[in-house]
Amino acid sequence: MDLKKKKIGVLMGGLSAEREVSLRSGHNVYEALLRKKYKATKIQLDSTDEIIPNLSKIDVVFSCLHGGIGEDGTLHALFDILGFPYVGSGVLACALAMNKLQTKRIFNSQGLRTAPWVEYQDEDWAVWQSRVLNEIGFPCVVKPVAEGSSLGVHIIRDETKLIEACQNTQAHYENFFVEKFISGKELTAGVLRSDGADQALPLIELRPKREFYDYVAKYTPGMTEFIVPAMVDKKKTEHIQEMCLHAHRALGCLGFSRVDLMLAEDDEPYLLEVNTLPGMTDTSDLPMAATAAGIGFDELVEKMLFTALERTPLPIAAATK
């Protein structure tokens, strides 16, 4: 397939809480594709009714839909059914990575260290608080099971604040869990497929000017100091990069991802999550890590686009002949 001759549809917007980030990512990707002389078109989705009519106008999907059905594998299943090549990970990898509890269970099964956690199971709040205290302790972190951009995340240092935070997260995002707070350096590692091989990009150390790397710190210029490469010695860096590659492969990711982790004060790394559709905004981590590896934004976008060549599903009509 000659991608230069194909119509590349950049999907952006959507209905998730990360809509604004998606619009920024999509615009940047669209502009990069134009600079690389691809036939790119913007597809801003404002309702689910618009998805199939817009797909009929393009040949290849470059999705920048963060969160919700754009990131949990739902739309990727539709792309597969309709026979549209698309960039990045497939249905299963997206679904697993979007569900932080399933991700952590896979980390454990692969011998990859992750922060201990407890899952809320619709129990009495007093019982729940006691269980968190006994199994995790304080400080701890309340997280939605399936949400991105640190939305709904609360760091709890005072046990009297736990139930209120849990109820708040539950009200907005339904399912949630609590994991042990790991004090140390906040790191992220981009994974990129280049020339047929996965590579871990230089580590980024995040030093937010807020309590943690939350939505505001992620997407507001000047609210986070980025140290690239991270201030981690060479041997530990290589160990963490291998750990992140292992996590990427364990979930079945394809082409690119971003792996978030904490380097604890005892110098042990703890994986947090894997993002199969990382942001492509001006403050996003994957483009920053690629730049540190000598890969400019336009070249990064092109490498991401090339992953569509590794998956060319057959339309149902052809598959059933």
- In the chain, domain spans: 3-88, 96-113+183-305, 117-180
Residue whose C-alpha is closest to residue 244's, from 289, 195, 207, 282? 289
CATH superfamily of 117-180: ATP-grasp fold, A domain (3.30.1490.20)
pLDDT tens for residues 218-260? 667 777 899 999 999 999 999 999 999 999 999 999 999 999 9
What kind of fold does domain 3-88 have according to CATH?
Rossmann fold (3.40.50)
pLDDT tens digits, one per residue of 64-104 = 999 889 999 999 999 999 989 999 999 999 999 999 999 99
**Given 179, 258, 285, 311, which residue is catalytic?**
258
Of 51, 27, 2, give the one whose Cα is nearest residue 279. Answer: 27
Residue 35 designated active-site: no
Let me know if 270 is a catalytic residue: no
Q: Which residues of the chain have pLDDT under 70?
A: 148-150, 210-219, 311-321
Residue 273 falls in the annotated catalytic set: yes
Q: What is the pLDDT of residue 316?
A: 42
Candidates 260, 284, 285, 311; catalytic one: 260
> What is residue 152's predicted lDDT score, i.e. its pLDDT?
79
Distances in Å between the Cα of 55 and the Cα atoms of 81, 105, 175, 225 are 12, 35, 32, 39
pLDDT for 211: 64
- Decide: helix, strand or coil at residue 102: helix
Distances (CA, A) of 279 to 48, 73, 148, 207, 275: 21, 17, 10, 18, 9
* Per annotation, catalytic residue among 18, 71, 72, 80: 18
Pick the catalytic residue: 219, 257, 270, 285? 219
Tell me which of 147, 186, 273, 285 is the catalytic residue: 273
**279 catalytically annotated:** yes
Model's pTM, two decimal places?
Answer: 0.90
**According to CATH, what is the number of the domain 96-113+183-305?**
3.30.470.20
Query: Does residue 108 carry a catalytic annotation?
Result: no
Radius of gyration of the chain (CA): 20
